[in-house]
Amino acid sequence: MTTASVSLGASVSSQSRFMQLALAAFLGIFVMGFVGFSHIDAVHNAAHDYRHSMAFPCH
Amino acid sequence: MNLFRNVVFIAAIAGLVAGVVLACMQAYATVPLILKAEVYEQAGGGHSHDHAATAATDTTAMSTAAPAEAAAPAEDEGWAPADGFERFAFSVLANIITGIGFALILVAVSEFAGGIGNWRHGVFWGLAGFAVFTLAPGLGLPPELPAMPAADLTERQIWWWATVAATAAGLGLIAFRKSLPLAILAVALIVAPHIVGAPQPGSYETAIPEGLHHQFVVAVTVTNLVFWLVLGAVVGVVRGRFTGTATSLRDSFA
């Protein structure tokens, strides 16, 4: 498995690259966690059918 | 933040496409089963639930998008979208938003491994996403219908996240490390959550017929599989167009 770096934002340093990708991943986890796992009633009710349909723990 | 911007851009397009596809599949495959289950839930009386009050009279709302009667929120569960179009609209919104969330995770993680070069490459990444986010947690916590017995919510959510993390780490080790001990560790990581076991309810008694639940498990699993394949493929296509260097990555996986 050769890891070809490059492509998206080819010129960034490896440290900056790591930070930016980590930031994007955490943003994704946060978005998913909020919609799918938040205990706030209104959020749960709004996304209710979605949560069941994704097999997220619900109720 | 050039790279970050590119990742978000690709994830937004892929999440939008895959989220809309998933919402359409759910409207036909899973939501009708949820509405059926809510009829049983209402008949059973016990566990209070936000949509139970109107579900019995509105089981076809998803396909007809009929405007529902005035929202009848349950006493203690706060605001809920009115059945019918509003409820459907919020489901679509949730699908798109979390689709983008899943896509952000997928694109960011795959960039660490060299990036998704084309749509076929993306399909494999999509399969991995399906295994991590649907298959592995679904073994211990099968998709539930409303009114089904379940253990404490927070405990189940913790088990769900732990299983996702362990499975992702395990698959990553198998795919990107060429060492036997690490491969064995990977298998242990994937198996461990299931040895610990998912939190189980005190009693399995439910008003939901076995057949209905089985249908639901199949529907959820298949719709999620298609979602992940579409998500991965679209990421591959968009990223290829975006970078113009896709060809160099074509055979970097398997």
- Over 80: is that where the pLDDT of B236 sits? yes
SS3 label, residue B20: helix
Q: Give yes or no for B224 touching A (CB within 8 A).
A: yes
Q: What is the number of structural domains in chain B? A: 1
Q: Quick one: pLDDT band at residue A10, thresholds 50, 70, 90?
A: low
Give residue B69's pLDDT: 37
Give the separation between CA A7 and CA B8, rounded to whole angstroms: 15
The shortest C-alpha distance from A13 to chain B (Å) reads: 11
Average pLDDT over residues B229-244: 90
Structure confidence by residue, pLDDT tens digits, B101-110: 999 999 999 9
Give the separation between CA B36 and CA B4, rounded to whole angstroms: 43
Residue B186 lies in a domain: no
Q: Give yes or no for B168 touching A (CB within 8 A).
A: no
Give residue B251's pLDDT: 39
The shortest C-alpha distance from A38 to chain B (Å) reads: 10
Residue B132 lies in a domain: yes
Q: Quick one: pLDDT band at residue B65, thresholds 50, 70, 90?
A: very low
Q: Which domain holds residue B114?
A: 2-148+206-249
Give residue B45's pLDDT: 61
Q: Quick one: pLDDT band at residue B181, thresholds 50, 70, 90?
A: very high
Three-class HEC string of B202-247: CCCCCCCCHHHHHHHHHHHHHHHHHHHHHHHHHHHHHHHHHHCCHH
Q: Give yes or no for A7 touching B (CB within 8 A).
A: yes
Q: At what angle do helices B210-243 and B85-112 cross, to 10 degrees?
A: 50
Residue B178 lies in a domain: no
Residue B179 lies in a domain: no
Give residue A12's pLDDT: 67
Residue B37 lies in a domain: yes
Lowest mean pLDDT among B78-82, B84-88, B109-113, B246-250: B246-250
Indicate whether this model's pTM tops 0.90: no
Give residue A1's pLDDT: 43
**Which among B210, B96, B105 is positioned nearest to B148, based on CA atoms?**
B210
More confident residue, B65 or B16: B16
ipTM for the whole predicted complex goes beyond 0.90: no
Give the separation between CA A51 and CA A45, rounded to whole angstroms: 9
Radius of gyration of chain B (CA): 20
Give residue B206's pLDDT: 86
User: For residues B140 and B163, is the Cβ–Cβ distance under 8 A?
Assistant: yes
- In a mutational test of the B interface, the residue from A50, A51, A56, A58 whose CB has the highest number of chain B CBs within 10 Å is A50
